[in-house]
Amino acid sequence: MAFHYPNGRRFVPQAMEEKKSPLKKISYSNRGKTLEDDLNETNQYYLAHGIAVIHKKPTPIQIVDVHYPKRSAAVIKEAYFKQASTTDYNGVYKGKYIDFEAKETKNSSSFPLKNFHDHQIEHMKHIIQHDGIAFVIIRFSAMDDIYLMSSEQLSFYWKRMKEGGRKSITLQEVESSSRKITLGFQPRIDYIKVVDSLISENF
Amino acid sequence: MAFHYPNGRRFVPQAMEEKKSPLKKISYSNRGKTLEDDLNETNQYYLAHGIAVIHKKPTPIQIVDVHYPKRSAAVIKEAYFKQASTTDYNGVYKGKYIDFEAKETKNSSSFPLKNFHDHQIEHMKHIIQHDGIAFVIIRFSAMDDIYLMSSEQLSFYWKRMKEGGRKSITLQEVESSSRKITLGFQPRIDYIKVVDSLISENF
């Protein structure tokens, strides 16, 4: 279910709001906010409050052609999106290496595994081998329900698919094998709280 | 001083060599190899040998215009290079968060501080506050000498510049305030060895 604040408007920190165009400024709900937007705000909150330093990596691009006009900035004239070989987010929390991927689905009964790639599953396995903390944050956008699933659990479902099993994780499976993240005021998606409980249980 | 192998040719792992064009395949020296190339090879070596998982982040790009031709991949038609808000490399080593920037200069008597940005110095300070390991790898390309300098040391020189002091770090200062990385066969730039000694001294 969607989560609404008293006046129906979600809080946006001043600094962030100013960066946006005046048109976007008058949005009064969370509709259209992507998981990425919410995570970026959360990470800014963590950084500003000295909780963690976690950033989204830039989108990997294959640059083919760049023009260098006189007296102005270089312009990329031809480039293509590349598939990421790692996950999108990483950083440090209490000295520990944190690494995760975030994906959302419009599907309301299961989470399609096609949202991930072999490279990413492989990458997360490497992180675990080196005592880092790796997980995925998945969002069912229809209900605005967000879960944190450990990379070990995701690997289990990935392997099942590779062995001919189902190509998605059912909502029931997600519920039983990951932690739901309660949506908050600020930070919006307080995933570090869940990471904390994972650390105290497993490390 | 430049470092040469018996036959004057540096070792290139098979898998990497195959990716290159036939023209590049017959290069017999390290001339033209950038610090980035050497670090990417080193990181691949670390990954393949289970030593560490460290990746270079993609170059941050501001995308302005994308075309979606029928039956082929999306083409970015207009984009610009953005200044990075973090450092270029990060990852995990023995559970610890590793973060660094790598820069080279053609200058042979000092290292210009204009190679770094306020954002990056700030970012590295945050990493240290969260018990991560942050440093810079700097290369004097004229001599092919490579040093690892802690972010604390770099901050010292940065502050000196901000207070009106010199805009570079002299070679003597670099020599006395950082560790020289001995260039090797494989891995090429074994910086993790230096990180190891930093960890055993400070943590």
Q: Is residue B122 part of a domain?
A: yes
Return per-residue pLDDT of chain A as tens, 203 residues: 444 444 444 544 444 444 444 444 444 445 567 999 999 999 999 999 999 999 999 999 999 999 999 888 999 999 999 988 899 999 999 999 999 999 999 999 999 999 999 999 999 999 999 999 999 999 999 999 999 999 999 999 999 999 999 999 999 999 999 999 989 988 999 999 999 988 888 65
Cα separation, A57 vs A80, in Å, equals 17
Number of structural domains (chain A) is: 1
A137 within some domain: yes
Can you give the pLDDT at residue B200?
A: 84
Least confident of A9-13, A93-97, B104-108, B136-140: A9-13
Question: Which pLDDT does position B50 carry in this prediction?
Answer: 97
pLDDT score of A31: 53
Interface of A with B (CB under 8 A): 47, 50, 52-53, 55, 57-61, 63, 73-82, 85-86, 90-99, 123, 126-127, 129-132
The pLDDT score that the predictor gives to residue A27 is: 40
CATH for A119? 3.40.1350.10
Confidence of residue B201 (pLDDT cuts 50, 70, 90): confident
Q: Is the pLDDT reported for residue B20 higher than 90?
A: no
Nearest by CB to residue B130, choosing from A59, A61, A93, is A93
Percent of chain B whose predicted confidence (pLDDT) is above 70:
83
Element (H, E) at B161: helix B151-162
Spell out the SS3 assignment of chain A: CCCCCCCCCCCCCHHHHHHCCHHHHCCCCCCCCCHHHHHHHHHHHHHHCCCCEEEECCCCEEEEEEECCCCCCCEEEEEEECCCCCCCEEEEECCEEEEEEEEEECCCCEEEHHHCCHHHHHHHHHHHHCCCEEEEEEEECCCCEEEEEEHHHHHHHHHHHHCCCCCEEEHHHHHHHCEECCECCCCCECHHHHHHHHHHHHC
The answer to whether A103 touches A35, Cβ cutoff 8 Å, is yes
Residue B75, helix vs strand vs coil? strand
- Cβ atoms of B45 and B186 closer than 8 Å: yes
Asked if the model's pLDDT at residue B84 lies above 90, the reply is no
Would the ipTM clear 0.90, i.e. be above it? no
Is the confidence at residue B6, as pLDDT, over 70?
Answer: no
A71 belongs to a structural domain: no
SS3 B159: helix
In a domain, A136, yes or no: yes
- pLDDT tens-digit series, residues B40-79: 999 999 999 999 999 999 999 999 999 999 988 999 999 9
**Does A4 reside within a domain?**
no
For B142-182, how does the pLDDT look when each residue is reduced to its tens digit (9 = 90+)? Answer: 999 999 999 999 999 999 999 999 999 999 999 999 999 98
Residue from the list B53, B58, B74 with its beta carbon closest to the beta carbon of A58 = B58
Beta-carbon contacts of residue B6 (< 8 Å; ≥ 6 apart): none
Distance from CA of A15 to the nearest CA of B (A): 16
Confidence of residue B3 (pLDDT cuts 50, 70, 90): very low
**Residue A179: inside a domain:** yes
Q: Chain B closest CA to A75's CA: distance in Å?
A: 5
SS3 B184: coil
Question: Any known ligand binding at A153?
Answer: no
Q: Is residue B180 part of a domain?
A: yes
The partner residues of A179 in beta bridges, in order of sequence, read A148
Give the structural domain span for A44.
Answer: 29-56+85-202
The tokens for A2 are 């969607």
Q: Which residues contact A24 (CB under 8 A, 6 or more apart)?
A: none
In a domain, A7, yes or no: no
**Residue B190: its pLDDT value, please?**
96
Of B50, B81, B95, the CB nearest to A97: B95
